[in-house]
Each structure stands twice: as C-alpha cells, then as structure tokens.
Amino acid sequence: AAFHAAPGHFGDVNAGQPHCPPFARHLGWRAKETVCTMRPHYKFWPHRLPHSITLPSTSLWDNLAISARRYPDKAALVFFGRALSYRALADGAERLAARLAQLGVQRGDRVVLCMQNCPQLVLAHFAILRANAVVVPVNPMNRAEELKHYITDPDTKVAITTADLAPELAKASNALAPGERLAHMVVTQFTDAFDADVAGPDAPPDAWREWLCTVHALPVLEGGQAHAWADALACTAEPPALVVGLGDLAVLPYTSGTTGLPKGCMHLHRSIMHNAVASSLWGTGTADNVTLAVVPMFHITGMVSVMHAAIYMGATLLVMPRWDRDLAGRLISRYKVTAWTNIPTMIIDLLASPHFAQYDLSSLVYIGGGGAAMPQAVAQRLLDHYGLRYAEGYGLTETAAPSHTNPPDNPKQQCLGIPFIGTDARVIDPETLQEVPVGEQGEIIIHGPEVFEGYWKRPDATESAFIEFEGKRFFRSGDLGRMDEDGYFFLTDRLKRMINASGFKVWPAEVEALMFRHPAIQEACIIAAKDSYRGETVKAVVVLRPTHQQTTEQEIIDWCRENMAVYKVPRIVQF
C-alpha cells in the first residue's frame, strides 16, 4: 500500500475489490480500480486507536446513568471545594427532568440553558436530555435584544438560568408578543452549589465574591412563572419514560453567519455521542481523569470535548465559572489535574502570572485546545520546560467541536491537526469545487459522523452549506486552509468575514445590525483589527448622522456594551 497524498477518502471503502485486504474498512483503505491507497495522515495515527469507532446505541443521558451506576460515590463535579457525586448528579437530573415534564416539556421540545460554568449547568443539561427534550445552549454574555432570538427561533417556552442572568432573560421574554414569551423559568443561585464562606485554595477570587454570593430575587416573568432551583429539585414525581435515542435531536447550539441572525445547528444524540466517545479515546481518557473545566460549557468545545467526554468516562470535572489564572494554577496543583482543554490565551496568561512558580503542572498528561493559534514560542516553552506537547485542534459548532486535531504523540505547532476519528476532510477550490494539490490553499470541507444535520428552520442555508463530493455529503467550513504532504491541515484565511477574538467568533453582520439601532449611527462596518493579546479584536468604522455629530467614540462603545455581549463590543471606533 502506498502512503501518498492522492485523493482518497475514509469509511466508504469496498473491501470486496481486488487487492484490498478484508480488514480494509476498519483501517480506512480505499479500493480504486485495483490499487489500495490510504490517506497520508494515517502514518501518524495513534497506534492504539482504530480509524473509526462503533458507537453505543444508547442516548446521551445513558452516559450519565451508566457512570452513576459504576462510580456512584465518585466526584463528578467539584466547585469551589464542594464535590457532587455521580449518584447525586444523576438523581438531581432525574428530579429536574420530572419537574420539566410537569411544566409541560415533552419529547423534542427545546429548552434554553443560559449559564456560566457551574454544576447546575451540567445537571440541567442532562435533565433536559432525560426529559426527552433538546438543549438550547445560550451564551450568558448575550443581552436582552439578542436573547429574544433564542426564545422565538427555537419556539422555546421553558428556560433554565442563573439568578444573575435571569433579569436579562426575563426582559427579553417580556418584550415579546404574548404568544412568543417564555412560560416558565427555573432560576438557580450560584450558592446552591457551593458554600459562600469557603476559604483557602478552593475559595473564589475576591473580585468574584459579590457576583457569586449575592442572592437575587426571582424575576417577574410576564405571562409566565419563575421557579426557584431548590423547589424544582424537590420534585418527587417520576420522570417520563426515556424514549429518545441516537436518531433524536439532542442539542441546538446557535452559530452566527455573515448574513442575518444566528442559526441553530441540529445535532442528534449520535453526533454528540461520537465526539464525546472519540475525544475520550483520543486523549487516552479513563475514569481517573481529572479535567479542568474552564472553557465555557455553553460553547460546543466545552460541552462536547470537556463535559460530555468526562461524563462518558466517569471522570471528575473541576468547574471554573470564568477564567482566573491564579485560581486555575491553584486547582491544577491541588487536585492534580490530568487533562486541560483550553484556548491559547489562557496558557499565555497563566505563564505570565507572578505566582506561576508556585504552581505544579506535573500531573498534566494532556493539554490542548483551539479557537485561536497557539504562538510557536509559547508552545515551545511548554515543551522545553514542562515536557507538555500542546495539541491544537479545529472544529466548528456544525461539527460538534473537533473535526481535526493533532495526535498527542505527533503534534505539529500552529497546525489544525489531522482529520478526527471517522472523518474525511479535503481542501477544494471554492469556485470549481475540485480538490487542490497538496500545499495549495482552498476551502476545507468535512464529512464524518460528527457533522450536524442542518440548520434549524433554514433549508436554504443547509443546502448551501453542503456539497456532494465523491458521492458523499461534505460540509463546507468556509475556512481556507492547506494540507501538507503528511496530511496535516493548516488554517490560512477565512472565506467568511468572521473575527476571532480570543477564540470567540464574532460575525460582523450581526454586530452591524445591532449598531444600526443606535440613533447616532448612519452607517457602520465591522472589521477585524490585530490585537497582541486577543489575536484579533473588533473595530467599528462608523458614519454619524448629521444631527449627532457630537457623539464620541466612547459613547458608541458604552452603548454597545449595554446592548451586546462583551466579546462582540468594538474595542476601537473610527469615525
């Protein structure tokens, strides 16, 4: 068999053709005429792993239920020193699922989940799945004007959130027409999950105490009712029968585009299950993993590669609600963290801490992430001083996080990696849709079990997002890249106008649409500006209305902070 870069694909081999060995399908060979070829990256494939995996036939809920039966007393979650066992997590999720059913949630209904990282997010996520419903994860940085879309587009009637965010979500719902509003909101306080007087290395940073420990009143939900978390978890009814499986809709995360409002990505239990299982295998995960969960779990990477992978394994998640470099350093040292998925900005910040010498990273056996390129000098420092090979990965909301990742034993720096387990990826000319030669730039396209079904209520957008290539359905990433002679992929540019600010994806059209609501703005164009810390940052080029010529740049920025998530806010305004 020849290792070369000729076009080939994975998973659709015909083992019956001449000269193709009987194990061809398992190994990823392709029979073409009478010659077997194999994609070049298989030379660097982890020897212990197959090229594709057999999925469990159960639902995502079953991953938690099984781990709770296997490891009932093991810590599933640790939050500021308080541990929640797998038994308690599963029991709480079943009680909340029963309460959701009482509130009218039925099979296939969409339920908004809007939280920073906390144990309640994990419990609520699995409760929604246990209720046979669909999780709609929402970025907690969104403001009322943005939140309206996450209520109306998925036809949501029930939301689960934290008390600090509940007023903004209620404001969004109350501003809608009566038939579009939320009917119920379940609200938790952060202190439902930890002791407010905790001290020592487990304590939250002083700057967070007011935010985390303040107990907020339930919001007024016009035409609906707000429920306290403790009351919801006190439900004694039986949860509904579990009837969903791999072929049912599980998660509806939203991703913005270059035009219009954010679009819901339809992920079945199957696609999330695939990347949860595959991620645990790729990182040689076991039930003894201790994972630092600081990347947001409302985001596809934190949700799948961190939360779902850990629950599938029966691992322990150390939960951080936000990034703080010294809290991260203390937790890694104290709990002997073994695996940490992050964004490079976090590593840069941790290494720059004046207290870094006090922290012990020796327990880490896997460190990697994505969202932005890891600077070569920083990656080299991790390797030279700590023996850690930073494994970058690549994926989109549409691909349930990783579609590409670096083999832990053979990573290349500043590289997306190789196509993930079960995945076929190519580089094509975006105009001719023909595969380009090795080393040439083109659009990255992806085929695999992790690819979503399509966009919610948007058949037009779904149709334009896919092409048929060599008889298979490939997703068009919109990202430009190249593949080297070893089969590793590199990002070179973006077909879309996306801005990547510290791993947060900012879509200019969405920010522009919000800015046009400012009374002083006649025209606005959002572009990327280079930033030494965030990689890219948001810049607004603005034309003021003749009647508002006294408006200042700072006034525009302040207004944006009031009306959109902070990562979307222009840091620079140019008139």
Per-residue pLDDT of 404-442, as tens digits, reads 999 988 999 889 999 999 999 999 999 999 999 999 999
**Res. 33: pLDDT tops 70:** no
pLDDT tens column, 170-181:
999 999 999 999
pTM, entire model: 0.86
The residues facing 394 across adjacent strands are: 404
Token duo for residue 43:
């030379």
The angle at the Cα of 507, spanning 506 to 509, to the nearest 5 degrees, equals: 145
Structure confidence at residue 258 (pLDDT):
55
pLDDT band at 35 (very low <50, low <70, confident <90, very high): very low
Mean pLDDT of the chain: 91
Token duo for residue 496:
């879309």
**Res. 16: pLDDT tops 90:** no
Going from the C-alpha of 115 to that of each of 33, 112, 173, 322, the distances in angstroms are: 54, 10, 17, 11
Q: What is the mean pLDDT of residues 16-42?
A: 51
Q: What is the Cα–Cα distance from 236 to 173, expressed in whole angstroms?
A: 29
Q: What is the Cα–Cα distance from 43 to 288, expressed in whole angstroms?
A: 30
pLDDT band at 290 (very low <50, low <70, confident <90, very high): very high
pLDDT band at 13 (very low <50, low <70, confident <90, very high): very low
pLDDT tens column, 143-152:
999 999 999 9
pLDDT tens column, 338-347:
999 999 889 9
Q: In whole angstroms, what separates CA 69 from the centre of its chain? A: 27
pLDDT tens column, 462-482:
999 999 999 999 999 999 999
**Res. 30: pLDDT tops 50:** no
Strand ranges for 360-495 from DSSP E: 366-369, 391-396, 401-405, 418-419, 424-428, 442-447, 466-469, 472-483, 489-494
Lowest mean pLDDT among 236-240, 350-354, 395-399: 350-354
pLDDT band at 397 (very low <50, low <70, confident <90, very high): very high
pLDDT: which is higher, 379 or 289: 289
Q: Are 501 and 567 in contact (CB under 8 A)?
A: yes
- Pairing relationship of beta strands 316-319 and 290-293 according to DSSP bridges: parallel
Segment (H or E) for 210: helix 209-213
Structure confidence at residue 37 (pLDDT):
55
Q: Are 530 and 564 in contact (CB under 8 A)?
A: no
Q: What is the mean pLDDT of residues 495-505?
A: 80
Q: What is the mean pLDDT of residues 192-205?
A: 95
Structure confidence at residue 385 (pLDDT):
85
Q: Are 160 and 180 in contact (CB under 8 A)?
A: no
Which 3-state string (H, E, C) describes 83-152?
EEEHHHHHHHHHHHHHHHHHCCCCCCCEEEEECCCCHHHHHHHHHHHHCCCEEEEECCCCCHHHHHHHHH
Structure confidence at residue 306 (pLDDT):
97
